Amino acid sequence: MAQRPRQPEQPSDAGLVKAVLRGELSAFDQLVRRYQRRAVAVAYRMLNNREDALEVSQDAMLKAYDKLDSLHNPERFGSWLLRIVSNLSLNRRRSRALRKTQSLDVENPAGQRAEWNLPDEGLAGPDEEVSGRELQAMIAEKIEQLPEKQQQALVLFSLQKLPQKQVAEIMGLSVEAVKWHVFAARKKLKDELQQYLQGA
């Protein structure tokens, strides 16, 4: 992943990973400090929920510790961790969607599908002007409802500013596929929020 500028004396990811594998727990603490903020941010943008994001990112870091000896290229720890974070976020998203569907089935036996419920949550309707904060909330919710790959690609590339090659590595896709998913996601957001974006 894109490395933040680090002091020369700071150990490399590979060095820290090897130290953890030798049994030095403090080395894992350094890896957590290095990647925690980004891990939480990715989970938050994919789940649009603070508690879920903290929980999923924490689970991801614990899982990373458990599976560390399966990491073939320790220098890629950052990308590998973000892959775990985004996969766990997708899992959480799916289980949440399932619960929502089951709940709707109970409340709505006629099988009516839920529409995006932005106005119901106190946000502006299409004809109303929205504040910057409301627009942010709308975009966040739209991102949450994007197809999985589009969402993942958009969060990693457009929000986390990771290089496309690294996003491709994290998602297990080609760079061209990543480009397409990012494009499709942004086009969808642009089309659906067009009237709000014009006034922003």
Partner 1 sequence: MNKRHDISDPEYRLRQVLDGLADEKQTRRVRQEMQDDPALAEQAKLYASLDSQLEQLAETPFDSEQLEQQRREIMARLERRVLLEGPTHRRRFGLPRLWLGGLAAAAGLVIGLTILLNTILTETVQPPGTVVQVRMRSAWQDRPDARRARQVRVSARRGVDYEQMPLAPEQHAAEALPEGTVVFSIGQPSQGDEEPPLAFPGM
Interface residues toward partner 1, by CB under 8 A: 20-23, 25, 28-29, 32-33, 36-37, 40-41, 44-45, 50, 53-54, 57-58, 61-62, 65-66, 68-69, 132, 135-136, 139-140, 143, 154, 158-161, 164, 174, 176-177, 179-180, 182-183, 186-187, 189-190, 193-194, 197-198, 200
- Alpha carbons 37 and 120: distance in angstroms, whole number: 32
- Alpha carbons 59 and 3: distance in angstroms, whole number: 23
- Alpha carbons 93 and 79: distance in angstroms, whole number: 21
Q: How far is the CB of 88 from partner 1 (least distance, A)?
A: 14
The end-to-end CA distance of the chain, in Å, is 32
Q: How far is the CB of 174 from partner 1 (least distance, A)?
A: 7
- Alpha carbons 143 and 71: distance in angstroms, whole number: 30
Q: How far is the CB of 16 from partner 1 (least distance, A)?
A: 13
Residue 78 CB coordination number (10 Å) = 21
Q: How far is the CB of 139 from partner 1 (least distance, A)?
A: 5
Q: Which is nearer to partner 1, 68 or 104 (CB)?
A: 68
